[in-house]
Structure 1
């Protein structure tokens, strides 16, 4: 039986205004039947509603937490194995979130941990699964948090949150991350950065995109090739970002400079999660979409395969990109 809460804090709900913006497309005959042309699409603004998040501390067992991991063997193991007693530390069980996707970590688990630290201090042990990714372990180590790798249930003082989905903390990124310090912080990274990708969701004409961005003073990064501490530093310090849509954008929850973000998309997979993050940290956003291929409309609109092109490479039109740079008032160096 769980006890009454020992401590609690409430992060109030928020309505975040997301400004109207634009999307610039690859030249297409959808714009002009006789000659392909760029479509400049006006995107209306909206209010991003986020409910309040209550974080509580109470004595109890992680068996009281609903296990949505989907791993049947882990569930059986925890049911048949005696819980582990942990004393002298507060317990944050992070085994219910995908620790292989850094966007899930940055928008769900990390803000919850930072909020919990404001409530109970640094004496927190984060529980991760026995085969947790090295990425997850590195993140918690950077945050100076003790780790416990186990698939057993835990008895102790639990830290629980009323909301546990990604982006629950959109309205609190600036407050929670404002004074974040971590080992390896680099204060001298570029103001203009180009975040590209290798493999899935890469740019077919990356060298062409990189060449034009260099004339504007951008430096290219592959976040998969640099340590997490450097990823955090780059995202924190950047004033202008051009980036291929992907999990690397989630680092912008750390941004301190009201970032201007130009997000590059495959035309069959345009989503608003990082538009929301840019707005949440006081920044601005616009989009550039790549070349439409003959299967996009058939798969996306008629077969309703929303993620069909989520990992597909695309080709970006340089004139569309320059229109986006001009729209956000970004000048060449």
Structure 2
């Protein structure tokens, strides 16, 4: 694409300090050969460096973006079909990113859309022809039009100098803090337990839920509630116990320096939401589940990093209690809502 930049905005580079924290494990004989015990793992602080991101508008075709998404038939169709001209709107082509994983949209595409809205008055987000309803709903809620097509587009394209999923960590508070949330539900609980169904669920979920009730937590399955309600819950929450998963990506919206206890399968511990919580000024710690006999063989010796990414796990209640105490969360029978 050789056309000149018509307009642009720059998100200046930032450093994000991620505080030291802890992870509490399921009792294991790795801690004591004679009696299983909880390991308290110290996690050091570190610094996230995020370079500047320039959001720019240039006249041209999405053919120059070299979109890699879509099946072979969609790619052939795009190659053989003339580009579709779109006038009267700025074009944000998000087909380079998955629209089936809300975490990728909330941390990658949506921040780019919000940054572009600083200089573009009318934006159309382009999705693949068979895009998910959740993707279309998200962009409509944010005031953008949606165009679902496998064709290339000719028009005023919104481009970013960085397209990595986590390029926008440093600007979540700024970008999402400017959203108009007056129409959202402000009466959601301060303490929530985000559970999961099916993949990556908790084997002893009912036990965990009953324990957390004494601390005033209310359970949610985010897959069962509308996007707008998910955003309301994530925005208002002050304390969350949540199973690792895409639902936690909504914390980019949080305005209360949230405390998050993230529940992991011991074979799939990652730092994505530790980074997000740090970026919004909150506090994070982890609880990992019961170690299984095949874990070390698959994870360390075979180096299958995602082997246990969707595997259910069992959480130890005493480990969870240690995490609550570490974040200075006291038991209470009440669960107050966020005031208007």
TM-score range, shorter chain: over 0.9
1:315 aligns with 2:327: no
CA contact (8 A) 2:86 2:153 kept: yes
1:147 deviates by 1.0
1:187 deviates by 1.0
Structure 1 segments of 4+ aligned residues over 3 angstroms from their partners: none
Q: Please, what is the CA RMSD of the aligned residues?
A: 1.0
Taking structure 1 as reference, are residues 183 and 329 closer, same or farther at Cα in structure 2, changes over 3 Å only? closer
1:277 deviates by 0.2
Give per-residue Cα distances to partners, 1:272-319, cap 9 Å, x unaligned. Answer: 000000000000100000000111111111111100000000000000
1:78 aligns with 2:78: yes
CA contact (8 A) 2:18 2:46 kept: yes
CA contact (8 A) 2:9 2:118 kept: no
Where do 5+ consecutive residues of structure 1 fail to align?
none
1:27 aligns with 2:27: yes
1:98 deviates by 0.3
The 1-side partners of 2:182 and 2:62 are apart by: 30
Trace 1:134-283 onto structure 2 (pairs within 5 A).
Answer: 134-181=133-180, 185-283=184-282
Trace 1:42-53 onto structure 2 (pairs within 5 A).
Answer: 42-53=42-53
1:101 aligns with 2:101: yes
Residue aligning to 2:62:
62
The 1-side partners of 2:129 and 2:292 are apart by: 43
The 1-side partners of 2:242 and 2:269 are apart by: 13
Q: How many residues align?
A: 332
The 2-side partners of 1:62 and 1:2 are apart by: 13
CA contact (8 A) 2:53 2:160 kept: yes
1:157 deviates by 0.6
1:72 deviates by 2.2
Where do 5+ consecutive residues of structure 2 fail to align?
333-340
CA contact (8 A) 1:183 1:229 kept: no
Residue aligning to 2:337:
none
The 1-side partners of 2:308 and 2:93 are apart by: 33
CA contact (8 A) 2:70 2:128 kept: no
Residue aligning to 2:113:
113
